Amino acid sequence: MKEEILKKIEIRQGDITELQVDAIVNAANSSLLGGGGVDGAIHRAAGPGLLDECKKIGGCPTGEARITYGHNLFAKHVIHTVGPVYSGKPQDKYLLENCYRNSLFTAINCNVKPIALMHHNIKSIAFPAISCGVYGYPIREACEIAIKTVANFLDEYWGIDQVIFILFSEEDVEVYKETIKWL
């Protein structure tokens, strides 16, 4: 991987709700009305204002992304994306790639909106291991998709200075750190 891209990517252990970044990504479900895992943690930390804003959006298809404000979070925004439920079929990979790419597109599209209404100026963004909890995606496969898709995006598009992959467990951190070495 190119040095300039590697410099923008960080792999960390921790709780995504505690990060002070421009946007954190939520591994949501398609209703966007909250759930378990990282989704539940984000809604708890953000407070009821987040749910109110999500209700107005009215859902999100798998692989797509929607943006809200961060409400009581340290993060200014939440980008909600819906990962695939792991099935072992080729479409899983395509949908998971879409989650990472569309989350990043959502971030930079907001940066360039010419009218100040939704001018978010997102430069730093943090991702959890989308689909790797209840949705059952094997961490090694998902991690390769996550890192490759993000790196390709950073190579192609301007505007994002920092991407943090934040993992709950030390084991997942090791998987990410090993994987990034050979990509």
Q: Which residues bind ligand ADP (CB under 6 A)?
A: 15-17, 27, 37-39, 41, 83, 128-135, 166, 168
Nearest distance from residue 122's CB to ligand ADP, in Å?
A: 19
Residue with tokens 């505690």: 18
CB of 115 to ligand ADP, least distance (A): 33
Output 132 or 160, the one with its CB closest to ligand ADP: 132
Nearest-approach distance from CB 170 to ligand ADP, in angstroms: 12
Q: Minimal distance in Å, beta carbon 181 to ligand ADP?
A: 21
Say if residues 126 and 11 touch (Cβ distance below 8 Å): no
Catalytic center residues: 39
Nearer to ligand ADP, 67 or 82 (CB): 82
- Choose between 133 and 159: whose C-beta lies nearer to ligand ADP: 133
Is the Cβ of residue 80 or residue 120 nearer to ligand ADP in the bound state?
80
- What contacts 65, CB < 8 A, 6 or more positions away? 25, 79, 80, 81, 99, 102, 103, 105, 106
